[in-house]
Amino acid sequence: MQFNLIGPFEITTDDGREFTPSAPRIRQMLALLALQPRETVSLDTFFQELWAEDAPLSALKIVHNHVSQARRLFTDEAVTSPGRNLLLTRPPGYLLQINDDEVDVMSFEGFIKRAQWELAEGTPGRAADFVTRALGLWRGPVLSDVSVGITLAGWSARVEELRIRALELHVEVENHFGRHRELLPELRTLVNDYPLHEWFHGQLISALHRSGRRGEALEAYGNLYRLLKSELGLMPSPDMRRLQSEILNATGNELALAPRRRERAGRPAAPAVAIAG
């Protein structure tokens, strides 16, 4: 069984069927519960999520009815074994009695943390594997078919930040193995998707430089300079300015020797990681 919140909300049953509750508020409530597995979500949190400051007098009754409908749905769809009670009443609210690995968001975060740890431990091949598994879970923006209130909006922002971290890890792993040319198409996409993320710009500039495309690297720096100036009134960071200076001062011999140095380093091969769409 799996609660899938990355992309459209859906539930995968024990026998592999996928379905989506048709009632929008049931999806919203189940998402709120699934993001906090085995933790009690208070009634006040439900009221805030569903109605903000405008909860009706019948709010308590509405929530109780939605919980009852969700329980019937679990039974009718045979989500899990009959003896397993998923949606429990726990004052002052309700909880979903599910494991972390039965929620894609929890698995997503776990894979990213493990990738970070493996990279720090000097095992980039294993880090690449966990990055691939994390990005493979990405089916689109979190809860893309769910109306979100203040709590779910916060969770959505958190997961988007986790995705950015996964993409950064992907770039770090590829750089470790010297795959600068192979990264260029993905880096251009990342710069387009996250135009104010200066680190992605820096990685594109650096990859172009290391690939012997000095003029394009300087052009990419110019694009970043104009973007920051027009959008935020800012200059590129000191790191970016140092990178520009490095490119301007590089000699042809330095560029030619860079690939040879990487070859002499004898880095082990690792499977290329592709960014999930």
List the domain range (segments joined by +) for residue 16: 2-102
Same domain as 6, residue 93 = yes
Tens digit of pLDDT for each residue in 61-116?
A: 999 999 999 999 999 999 999 989 999 999 999 999 999 999 999 999 999 999 99
Mean pLDDT, the chain, as a whole number?
92
Q: What's the mean pLDDT in 1-27?
A: 96
**In 106-116, which positions are buried (b, 16+ CB within 10 angstroms) versus exposed (e)?**
bbbbebbebbb
Residue ending a domain, among 56, 75, 102, is 102
199 neighbors 237 (Cβ within 8 angstroms) = no
Residue 277 pLDDT > 80, yes or no?
A: no
Residue ending a domain, among 102, 131, 150, is 102
Q: What's the mean pLDDT in 237-254?
A: 87
User: Which CATH number goes with the domain that contains 54?
Assistant: 1.10.10.10
Q: What's the mean pLDDT in 147-170?
A: 97
Cβ contacts of residue 245 below 8 Å, gap of 6+?
Answer: none
What pTM was computed for the model? 0.88
- Give the pLDDT band of residue 252 (cuts 50, 70, 90): low
Rounded Cα distance between 159 and 165, Å, is 10
> What interhelical angle do 24-34 and 43-51 show, nearest 10?
130
pLDDT at 256: 44
Residue ending a domain, among 102, 121, 137, is 102
User: Which residue, 66, 119, 72, 74, is CA-closest to 94?
Assistant: 66
Q: How many domains would you assign to the chain?
A: 2
Structural element, H or E, at residue 90: strand 87-90
Structure tokens at 191: 């710069």
